């Protein structure tokens, strides 16, 4: 038995699979609750605007816990922190399923988000430490597929559970998944710690948590409370002040909670920005395509899930192609192609009307999946190509913080666009024309991403652009230098 476990630990794909299963559950929970909001509102006898906090509380908790993950993983051990986070996520899922009222459910969602906020970045650090630079594209291919398969299948799974069972099952299904991940992690993952480096950054932690929490609260409350309301303005200004203090504190400490100096590396910086914009446009289109099908067109949650699912099919088909192209072409051109595809697919979605066939919309979603696969795999693989093992924990925390905050803010701002375009998402069913403006806003984000992709330096991606460091045009590549 010991010999078999040793052999399994030697296979890096085993590490990636353990992480991918945990990540699937975490990412799915960002979307699966959406189809159950109506049932929750009815069962708990609360308004639609109140029940939205079941989603918002999870995303806020997740985002504010990500920054501390790198420090905790390095000091306490990545395996220990990862498994503890999975245990918290699993326990909280069971408590969510057993909740008897809305305040209790929201509190348990906060706990669930805290577990997910630690689980994903620490797990990513484990994976990237297990893979050598020239093989990280293989790990990223698996992570990319999971990252998109989860939210794409969430409406299908959630719709089926809510329709044929109960909303409680959308949380209960996490229990066997969590137990399996913990068992696999205990047996198959190796522990990693970095040498101690200073005391815990309390001021950075408090200012970071307050800043991110208040920012997400302000943006999440804007569409319902009004962007000029006292609560939104006050929390927004407080968030800016707290985040400014956080940046000042972190840059001034030799052993910071979140080592923002990693952003000085231009490849990591621009790839993180590219991924952030892609997540904004992609998840925004995923959420609002489902919303368009259900609210503007009057179809069921199952029809909605079947309409957005082709995005996952597109990624599944194209990721292997992009993984083959990446070592030969480099990240910059692949990112540009992906963002142009995102702009075109969102532009097509912006033209969908009241009589457009759902099969046509599914075709647009398929193109969306093809497009985002160019960005997700390229940006994530290239971002970590110059990151040393010692800096991987902090880099993963920064990368995931950007990603999660972008997803939350993107959906919140697109919700505001929908409301301004005539769709009061709280009280009335939005017209189809309002969605045209939402997808047009995503087109603008994608065009910005295409423009900024030119800043991604192919030359710096030498460690992962062919083993010999030769670009697709025959130019020999030289990295800027390893960070950390």
Q: Taking residues 17-27, what's their average pLDDT?
A: 84
- Average pLDDT of the segment spanning 67-84: 85
H or E stretch covering 260: none
Structure confidence by residue, pLDDT tens digits, 131-154: 776 676 777 777 777 766 776 677
The DSSP annotation for 348-405 comes to HHTT--SS--HHHHHHHHHHHHHHHHHHHHHHHHHHTTTB-TTTHHHHHHHHHHHHHH
pLDDT at 445: 95
Q: Taking Cα atoms as reference points, which of 250, 238, 247 lies closest to residue 211?
A: 238
| pTM (whole model) above 0.85 | no
Q: Is the pLDDT of residue 403 over 90?
A: no
- Is the confidence at residue 210, as pLDDT, over 90? no
Closest to 216 in 3D by CA, of 92, 88, 58, 398? 58
Between the CA of residue 411 and those of 144, 159, 177, 219, 404, what are the distances in Å?
20, 21, 27, 9, 11
Cβ–Cβ under 8 Å, residues 93 and 167: no
More confident residue, 48 or 360: 360
Interval 253-300: pLDDT, tens? 777 777 888 888 888 999 999 999 998 998 888 878 887 887 788 887
Q: Report the percent of the chain where pLDDT is more than 90.
A: 25
Q: Is the pLDDT of residue 5 over 60?
A: no
Cα angle 213, 219, 222; round to 5: 135
Average pLDDT value for the chain: 81
pLDDT at 472: 39
Give the pLDDT of residue 36: 77
Integer Cα distance of 152 and 285 in angstroms:
11
Comparing 105 with 383, which gets the higher pLDDT?
A: 105
Higher-confidence residue of 309 and 340: namely 340
Does residue 311 have a pLDDT over 70? yes
Please say if the pLDDT value at position 474 is more than 50.
Answer: no
Residue 468 above 70 pLDDT?
no
Tell me: pLDDT of 98 over 70: yes
Report the 10 Å Cβ neighbour count for 108: 23
E strand map for 211-340: none
């Amino acid at each position: 038995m010991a010999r078999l476990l040793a052999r399994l630990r030697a296979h890096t794909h085993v590490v990636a699979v353990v992480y991918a299963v945990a990540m699937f559950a975490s990412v799915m929970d960002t979307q699966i609750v959406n189809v159950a909001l109506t049932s929750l509102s009815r069962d708990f006898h609360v308004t639609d605007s109140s029940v939205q906090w079941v989603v918002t509380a999870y995303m806020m908790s997740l985002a504010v816990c990500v920054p501390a993950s790198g420090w905790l993983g390095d000091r306490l051990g990545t395996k220990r922190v990862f498994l503890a986070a999975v245990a918290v996520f699993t326990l909280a899922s069971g408590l969510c399923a057993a909740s008897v009222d809305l305040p209790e459910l929201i509190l348990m969602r906060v706990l669930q988000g805290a577990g997910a906020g630690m689980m994903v970045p620490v797990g990513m650090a484990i994976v990237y430490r297990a893979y050598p630079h020239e093989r990280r594209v293989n790990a990223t291919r698996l992570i990319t597929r999971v990252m998109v398969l989860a939210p794409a299948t969430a409406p299908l799974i959630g719709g089926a559970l809510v329709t044929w069972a109960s909303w409680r099952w959308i949380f209960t299904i996490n229990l066997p998944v969590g137990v399996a991940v913990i068992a696999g992690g205990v047996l198959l993952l190796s522990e990693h710690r970095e040498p101690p480096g200073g005391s815990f950054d309390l001021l950075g932690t408090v200012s970071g948590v307050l800043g991110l929490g208040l920012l997400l609260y302000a943006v999440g409350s804007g569409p319902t409370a009004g962007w000029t309301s006292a609560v939104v303005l006050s929390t927004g200004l407080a968030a800016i002040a707290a985040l400014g203090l956080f940046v000042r504190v972190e840059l001034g400490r030799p052993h910071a909670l979140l080592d923002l100096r990693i952003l000085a590396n231009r490849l990591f910086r621009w790839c993180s920005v590219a991924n952030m914009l892609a997540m904004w446009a992609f998840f925004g289109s995923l959420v609002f395509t489902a919303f368009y099908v259900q609210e503007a067109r009057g179809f069921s949650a199952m029809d909605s899930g079947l309409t957005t699912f082709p995005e996952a099919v597109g990624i599944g088909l194209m990721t292997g192609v992009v993984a083959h192209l990446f070592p030969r072409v480099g990240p910059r051109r692949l990112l540009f192609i992906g963002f142009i595809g995102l702009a075109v697919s969102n532009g097509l979605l912006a033209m969908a009307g009241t009589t457009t066939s759902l099969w046509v919309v599914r075709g647009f979603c398929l193109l969306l999946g093809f497009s985002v696969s160019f960005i997700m795999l390229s940006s994530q693989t290239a971002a970590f190509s110059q990151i040393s093992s010692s800096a991987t924990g902090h880099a993963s925390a920064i990368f995931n913080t950007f990603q999660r905050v972008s997803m939350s803010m993107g959906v919140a701002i697109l919700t505001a666009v929908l409301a301004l375009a005539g769709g009061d998402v709280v009280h009335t069913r939005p017209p189809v024309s309002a969605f045209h403006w939402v997808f047009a806003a995503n087109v603008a984000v994608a065009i910005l991403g295409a423009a900024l992709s030119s800043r991604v330096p192919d030359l710096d991606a030498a460690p992962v652009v062919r083993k010999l460091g030769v670009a697709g045009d025959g130019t020999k590549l030289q990295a800027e230098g390893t960070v950390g």
